[in-house]
Structure 1
Amino acid sequence: MEKQHKQADLELLQQAAREGHLKLKYLDESGFDCWSPVSYSWCLVGTQKRQEQTARHGRRVNIIGVWEPDCRFTYGLSVGSITSATYIRFIDEQAKQAQRLFQRTGKITVIAQDNARIHTSLAVQQRIAVWQQKGLYLFYLPRYSSELNPIEGEWHQIKAHQIRGRMFEDEYDLAMAVIASVQSRGEITGCRVKRFGFKSKKSRKQTSRSSV
């Protein structure tokens, strides 16, 4: 019953967004490895498919993104886990955008997302009132309902088509491939793409091969 009620609520939000009464976005996280999983494919008779592994496996590059279909895709990359604190920084920026929209048009912004722990932590709960004052509201999708979040399809396209079967020397090369893949998806879907940086102002003055 909960899923049916939540799905009905989401459909109302989608209808309101189509009619221009509010802005609806979808948020999710995903991850990428330097070594792509081996997959089935065609090859010439007498030959064997090969995926040459690099010298080191490297760390996982994680992505957090918020997608407004046919309009905008904003994302951030992190080498290692995306924490609740990382999520809050990302949503704080979304709240700034929502506040500008609300002040200009009176429209609120709604972000639909799953019930991951980093989305529901105590620190997040303590920020909700602040975000709502700026015109940003969070909508939690029913549990185990990834099919209701269309950003999942974007992650699939990137993994299944953009970087499938590739091996990367290190996290930097992997991150650059993910950045290029997201940009390519933006061009295909007609969305403006913006990358959010998690580094502090001090660290932005420093450049290194490991920064993403």
Structure 2
Amino acid sequence: MMEQEAQEAQNAGRIRVIVQDNGSIHRCKDAQKLWSKWEHMGLYIFFLPTYCSQMNPIELESQHLKKDELCGQIFNDELDLAYAVIDGIKARGEKGNYSTQRIRFNSNRSG
């Protein structure tokens, strides 16, 4: 995904800035090896301060989703939880008067 972002920045001839949390996947050695290459292509990555959920809007939304929409429920399996999360996101969108969109990612995995 970051490689595509870097390529698009290079093709457009404009810098692109991505802000990420400090998740291990964002700072793994494989990613670090590519940072310099991506910067030369015009992609700059900045990291939020550690444990700074107030600067990461998805963290705040996740807290509200858990507290306001999922709290007190018991789910029989992951599918029930997934549907509850989808419904909770829709409910949060309606309450906040903003639109939500479900995105489905293609998967090459079988099983």
Fold match (TM-score > 0.5): yes
Q: Distance in 2 between matches of 1:140 and 1:163?
A: 29
Within the candidate set 195, 198, 210, 2:103 is matched to 195
Q: Which residue in the other structure is 2:86 paired with?
A: 179
Question: % of aligned pairs identical?
Answer: 37
C-alpha displacement of 1:196: 4.9
Q: TM-score, normalised by structure 1?
A: 0.41
Confirm or deny: 8 A CA contact 2:18 2:44 kept in the other structure.
yes
Once the two structures are TM-superposed, the CA of residue 154 in structure 1 deviates from its matched residue by 0.6
Residue 141 in 1 paired to residue 48 in 2? yes
Conserved in 2, the CA contact under 8 Å of 1:95 and 1:136?
no
Q: 1:32-70: CA deviations, max 9, x gaps?
A: xxxxxxxxxxxxxxxxxxxxxxxxxxxxxxxxxxxxxxx
Match of 1:168 among 75, 80, 88: 75
* Larger RCO: 1 or 2 (CA < 8 Å, sep 6+): 1
Q: Residue 161 of structure 1: CA displacement?
A: 1.1
Aligned partner letter, 1:166 = Q
Equivalent in the alignment of 2:26:
119
Kept in 1: contact 2:15–2:44 (CA 8 A): yes
- In the alignment, the residues of structure 2 paired with residue 108 and residue 193 of structure 1 have an alpha-carbon distance, to the nearest angstrom, of 27
**Structure with greater proportional strand content:** 1
Deviations 1:152-186 (A, max 9, x none): 11101111112121111101111122123234444
- For structure 1, the residue ranges without an aligned partner over 5 or more in a row are 1-91, 207-212
Larger radius of gyration: 1
Deviation at 1:116, TM superposition (A): 2.8
Deviation at 1:144, TM superposition (A): 2.8
Q: Does 1:159 align with 2:82?
A: no
Mind listing any 5+ residue stretches in structure 2 that lack a counterpart?
A: none
Relative to structure 1, is the Cα distance of residues 108 and 194 closer, same or farther in structure 2, using a 3 angstrom cutoff?
A: farther
Distance 1:180 1:102, change over 3 A: farther
Is the Cα–Cα contact under 8 Å of residues 112 and 149 in structure 1 kept in the other structure? no
Q: Equivalent residue of 1:168, what SS?
A: coil
TM-score relative to the length of structure 2: 0.68
Aligned in 2, Cα 1:146/1:172: closer, same or farther, shift over 3 Å? same
Task: Tell me how far apart the structure 2 counterparts of residues 183 and 131 of structure 1 sit (CA, whole Å).
Answer: 36
Q: Which has the higher helix share?
A: 2
Paired AA for residue 170 in structure 1: D
Residue 194 of structure 1 and its aligned partner are, at CA, apart by 4.3
- Return closer, same or farther for 1:183/1:128 CA change in 2, 3 Å cut-off: farther
Contact 2:18/2:45 (CA < 8 Å) preserved in 1? yes
